Amino acid sequence: MIKILIVEDEEPISDLIRMNLVKAGYHCECAFDGNTAADILSQERFDLVLLDIMLPGINGYELLDYTKTLDMPVIFITAMGELDDRVKGLKAGADDYITKPFEIVELLARVETVLRRYHKADDKISVLDVEIDIPSRVVMKNGKQIMLTLKEFELLLLFVRNKNIALYRETIYENVWESSYLGDSRTVDLHVQRLRKKLEWEDRIKAVYKVGYRLEIPEE
């Protein structure tokens, strides 16, 4: 299982991140100050570190230097959203940078991207009766291949990676179509309907009133 260390001094934010990463299938540990994080990193190996910059004790930049000696990828999480701060973080060696406040769907996507860059992300995902082979874009249901278009496949991945989370139509459109949402929901609705029918998931991908859609999976 992928291990992620969350270094964030604001406990409500840390708890929110941890809860959603655990739901997505990751094992998480938390540190609320730089000194504790350094101690944990000296004793355990992690696949990814989510690192706030402004921390009590050792700050995020100093911890970043330490993680690089251990060859651990880092995503900076900070309220410091100015361009100079982003550039400084990336030049210092961070693999990505996300600014508070952020949507969980964005965080999960960035985590997945960095893990895949380091060849640590799972290439195959199993959900209910469906098997997804990400590199080959092959989807199997009960041993039978389901033919999906590119957008349907990306929509499926978005739902699976954010299971049990209500996703706004705007969020779905901007993540799958990678362009700004202009308020026309027909494209999203049509693709969701087609995906439901192909996977026979009419009772799984639920419409959420005035929001969008949610893939409902029983919690283990």
**Are residues 157 and 109 part of one domain?**
no
The percent of residues above 70 in pLDDT, for the chain, comes to 95
Domain extent at residue 57:
3-117
The model's pTM is 0.69
Identify which has the larger pLDDT, 122 or 79. 79
**Tally of domains in the chain:** 2
Using omega within 30 degrees of 0 as the cis cutoff, is the peptide bond preceding 218 cis?
Answer: no
**Are residues 97 and 15 part of one domain?**
yes
**Are residues 78 and 17 part of one domain?**
yes
Q: Is residue 9 part of a domain?
A: yes
Q: Is residue 220 part of a domain?
A: no
Which of 92, 117, 142 finishes a domain? 117
Give strand ranges (E) for 14-60. Answer: 27-31, 48-51
Q: Indicate the helix (H) or strand (E) that contains 207.
A: strand 205-208
Q: What is the DSSP string of 84-136?
A: HHHHHHHHTT-SEEEESS--HHHHHHHHHHHHHHTT-S-SEEEETTEEEETTT
Q: Which pLDDT score is estimated for 81?
A: 63
**Are residues 7 and 108 part of one domain?**
yes
**pLDDT score of 67 more than 70:** yes
Q: How much is the average pLDDT of 149-156? A: 94
What is the tens place of the pLDDT at every residue in 28-59?
999 999 999 999 999 999 999 999 988 998 88
